[in-house]
Every structure is written in structure tokens, then in C-alpha cells.
């Protein structure tokens, strides 16, 4: 077993996160009607969803790799990255609800984007329920991999395609412009791009920790 050390990219993650938090709360933002200071949620809500999408993409790819080679490590990568992806998705949904309450006057509206996000996360939660219903590791990995690929294939159009084809209050959906178009000074871009990178790296860090924990458990199981 390798000893744990803080790699350069983990140090970079910490630096980027600190900058994102400081910039997110303290740096000036455009003074827009209704939004006002709530636009700062853009620094956290959006990067969390970018992190989620990265993790779900990696998870689906790992499932494809498992079906090709039947390497249980690939299945572990798929399941653990999906766990962190769901965590980021839930946090993104919660921050979106807070933002929606400030801008729309309600935590939840009958909006295609919001409903699709909830359905998409439920599809991924069902992935873990499915895996938990099997005792045999190989059967769990094989059927879980097939379902995971299906979940990703449904999730992407559900979240990013269908809402753009219908009326939606959510920025970037249903013809509603994104906040980027309102930011004429572009003063938010540096922070939000930094935050997106930071949350993607943080999600990967969490995934490596879960994989390391699995390796430790497997090591002691083999010794016993």
C-alpha cells in the first residue's frame, strides 16, 4: 500500500477553492435588478453542476471499460465517482433552490429544468439501489455498468437538451439567456472559471479518497 501524500494537484485544488470562496463572497458583482447579491450563487451553483457532469461522464466511461475488460477496479471507479457526482448534484440542486427563492419567490417551481434535474438525480439514486440488490460482486458490477451507461445516456438530454426546447425560467433554457450575457464587464468570469476547475478537482479528490478506502478494505479482507 502506498503512503498518502498531498500531491501538487491537491494543493492546487485548495488554492483554487480558497480563491473561489473569497472571490465569490467579496469581489464586486454586477448590480442587476432582482438578482442583486444573489448572483454570487453563480460561483457555487454552476461549478457544482460542472463537477457533477465531469464525474458522471467519468463514471459512464469506467462502466464501458468494465464491460470491455471485466476489471473490478473499473467498476469501483464507476460507482465511487457516481456517488460523488450525486453529492454534487444534490448540493447544486439545493443552492439552486436557494437562488430560486430569492429570484422567483419560491424554492421550487413547475419548471422543466428543475423537474428534469430532480428526475435525473433519482435515476442515479436508483443505480445504487440496483447495485445494493445483488450479493454477487460480478453480477452487481455487470448489471450496474449497463444501467450506469443507460443512466448517463438519459441524464444528459434530460438536463441539457430537453429544457432548451421548452419554456423555462432557468437561465440558458427555453430561450432564456444565461447570466453571462448580463455580465457586460466580464468581472465574474475569472472567479467562476476558477471555481469550475476547483470543484472538478475537488470531486476527483473525493473520488480518489473513496477508491483508496475501498483498497484499504480489500487489503484487510484479503489478510483475514
Q: Read off the pLDDT of each residue in 64-80 and give the average, rounded to a whole number.
A: 94
Domain that holds residue 106: 54-190+204-223
**Is residue 36 included in any domain, yes or no?**
no
**Is residue 1 included in any domain, yes or no?**
no
**Is residue 17 included in any domain, yes or no?**
no
- The torsion angle over the Cα atoms of residues 6, 8, 12 and 14, rounded to 10 degrees, is 0
Q: For the chain, how many structural domains are there in total? A: 1
Q: 136: which DSSP letter?
A: S
- Rounded to a whole number of angstroms, the distance between the first and last alpha carbons of the chain is 16
> Are 59 and 82 contacting, i.e. CB atoms less than 8 angstroms apart?
yes
Express each pLDDT in 5-32 by its tens digit: 678 899 999 999 999 999 888 888 877 7
Q: pTM value?
A: 0.87
pLDDT at 182 over 60: no
**Is residue 23 included in any domain, yes or no?**
no
Three-state secondary structure call for residue 168: coil
Q: What share of the chain has pLDDT > 90, as a percent?
A: 49
Residues 201-215: b if buried by 16+ CB within 10 A, e if exposed: bbbbbbbbebbeebe
**Is residue 11 included in any domain, yes or no?**
no
- pLDDT the model gives residue 140: 92
Express each pLDDT in 132-179 by its tens digit: 998 888 999 999 999 999 999 999 998 887 777 776 666 655 444 455
**Is residue 33 included in any domain, yes or no?**
no
Pick the residue with more confidence: 195 or 28?
195
Region label for 11, one of left (φ > 0), alpha (ψ between -120 and 50) or beta (otherwise): alpha
- pLDDT the model gives residue 160: 80
- pLDDT the model gives residue 135: 87
**Is residue 38 included in any domain, yes or no?**
no
**Is residue 15 included in any domain, yes or no?**
no
Residues 52-79: b if buried by 16+ CB within 10 A, e if exposed: bbbbbebbbbbbbbbbeeeeeebbbbbb
Cα separations in angstroms, 184 against 23, 193, 195: 18, 16, 20
Amino acid at each position: 500500500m502506498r503512503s498518502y501524500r498531498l500531491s501538487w494537484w491537491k494543493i492546487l485544488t485548495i488554492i483554487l477553492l480558497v480563491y473561489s470562496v473569497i472571490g465569490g463572497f467579496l469581489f464586486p458583482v454586477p448590480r442587476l435588478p432582482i438578482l442583486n447579491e444573489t448572483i454570487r450563487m453563480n460561483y457555487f451553483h454552476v461549478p457544482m453542476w460542472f463537477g457533477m457532469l465531469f464525474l458522471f461522464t467519468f463514471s459512464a466511461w469506467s462502466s464501458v471499460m468494465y464491460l470491455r475488460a471485466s476489471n473490478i477496479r473499473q467498476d469501483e471507479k464507476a460507482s465511487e465517482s457516481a456517488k460523488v457526482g450525486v453529492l454534487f448534484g444534490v448540493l447544486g440542486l439545493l443552492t439552486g433552490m436557494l437562488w430560486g427563492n430569492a429570484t422567483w419567490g419560491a424554492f421550487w417551481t413547475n419548471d422543466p429544468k428543475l423537474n428534469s434535474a430532480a428526475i435525473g438525480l433519482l435515476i442515479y439514486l436508483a443505480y445504487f439501489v440496483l447495485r445494493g440488490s445483488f450479493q454477487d460482486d460480478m453480477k452487481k458490477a455487470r448489471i450496474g455498468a449497463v444501467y450506469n451507461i443507460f443512466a448517463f445516456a438519459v441524464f444528459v438530454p434530460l438536463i441539457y437538451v430537453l429544457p432548451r426546447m421548452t419554456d423555462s425560467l432557468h437561465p440558458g433554457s427555453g430561450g432564456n439567456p444565461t447570466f453571462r450575457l448580463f455580465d457586460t464587464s466580464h468581472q465574474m468570469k475569472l472567479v467562476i472559471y476558477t471555481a469550475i476547475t476547483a470543484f472538478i478537482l475537488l470531486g476527483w479528490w473525493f473520488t480518489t479518497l473513496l477508491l483508496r478506502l475501498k483498497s484499504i478494505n480489500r487489503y484487510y479482507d484479503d489478510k483475514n
